Structures are given as C-alpha cells and as structure tokens.
Amino acid sequence: MNRFLPLVGGFILFAGAVAALAFVLASVGGYIATASEAKAAVTSSSREESYNEAVASFLSDTADERSRLSSFIVNDAGVVAVIQEIDDAAKREKVSVTIDSVAVGASAWNYFDPLDVSVSATGSFAALSAFATDLESLPEASRLVSFHAEAAENKAWFGSYRVEFLKTKSP
C-alpha cells in the first residue's frame, strides 16, 4: 500500500492542478467577456457622442437659414394676416373678393400642414389675371393651386382661386 501512496498523492496533486487551471481559464474568460462588453460600450458611446456633436453642429450652422425660412411659414396666429394679404392684393388689382373657405389639410410631414384657401373674385379679365399673379407671389411659402376664370354679365369676369400655404402643425 505504501507503494500506491505516492501515486495517489500525485493523482490528487494532478487533479488539484487541473482544477486550478480550469478556475484560472474560467476567470480569464470572464475578464475577456467583461473587456469586450466595455469596448463595445465605449465604441457605441463614442459613436453616439459623434452623432450628437454632428447634430449640434448642424443646428448651429443652419440657425440663420432656419430662422429666415420660418418667416415664410404661417402659424395659427398668422392665418388672419394671410387672409389680409389676399384682401390687400385684391384691392391693389381692383377686384372684389370673397374668401370661400380656409381649411387645414392632412399631411405626412411631422411639422407642417397645408392651409388651403379658396377665393372667389369678380372684375375685369386683366384684373383677375393680375390678381392671380399677386397670389402666386405672396411672401409666404405658398402656391396658386388652381385658377379658373369665366365671363359673367356686363363684361365682368368671375374667377375662382385655390391657394395653398405651408402652416406649422398645431400642438
């Protein structure tokens, strides 16, 4: 039995060494996984920081342009001013106008809606054409969607117009 004692002792030491090696390898694997997660977080964080810096730089670089562009966009309080501009254009061109409707259309845009204004007018053909030109050149972000003129009584003409403005979405 004394003969087997060194062999059993060696086997126990070998088993202990294998267990210690397995423990060290498991610990190193855990440290590697932790380091990989930390590297991914740092990379993701630096990408996010770069993106945020780029957005902030873009917003500061375009602040003047965005403020100038916003002066062309109608807000809720500015709808009355738009109608007044239409009325002023009619007075300049010596046509009689009636605002038929003002409606906010649906839009897929996040921040803007179309504001649709329908107008009827009577006057000479030249005056109605000049009024259409005035509507087309209003200072807001607008466009003359349609214009229809037809002869009426006593050499007068009747015109119908549809003008679309860009309006900020209501909250």
Task: Evaluate if residue 28 carries a pLDDT over 80.
Answer: no
User: Percent of the chain scored above 70 by pLDDT?
Assistant: 95
Assess contact for 74 and 115: CB atoms under 8 A.
yes
Residue pointed to by tokens 């972000």 = 141
Q: Which CATH code of 3.40.395.10, 3.90.700.10, 2.70.50.30, 3.30.70.60 fits the domain covering 73-168?
A: 3.30.70.60
Residue pointed to by tokens 């740092």 = 42
CA distance 88 to 109: 30
pLDDT of amino acid 88: 92
Query: Is 115 in a helix, a strand, or coil?
Result: strand
Check residues 36 and 84 and name the one with the higher pLDDT: 84
pLDDT of amino acid 44: 67
pLDDT of amino acid 8: 73
The band of 42, judged by pLDDT with boundaries at 50, 70 and 90, is low
User: Percent of the chain scored above 90 by pLDDT?
Assistant: 29
Spatial CB neighbours of 111, under 8 Å, sequence gap ≥ 6: 168, 169
Mean pLDDT of all residues in 18-33: 73
Q: How far is CA 15 from CA 3, 4, 24, in A?
A: 19, 16, 14
- Annotated domain spans of the chain: 4-61, 73-168
Residue 30 parent element (H or E):
helix 4-61
Q: Across the strands, what pairs with 113?
A: 167
Query: Is 42 in a helix, a strand, or coil?
Result: helix
pLDDT tens per residue across span 86-125: 999 999 999 999 999 988 888 887 888 888 999 999 999 9
Reading the block at residue 168, the tokens are 């900020």
The band of 72, judged by pLDDT with boundaries at 50, 70 and 90, is confident
pLDDT of amino acid 19: 74
The band of 1, judged by pLDDT with boundaries at 50, 70 and 90, is low
pLDDT of amino acid 60: 86
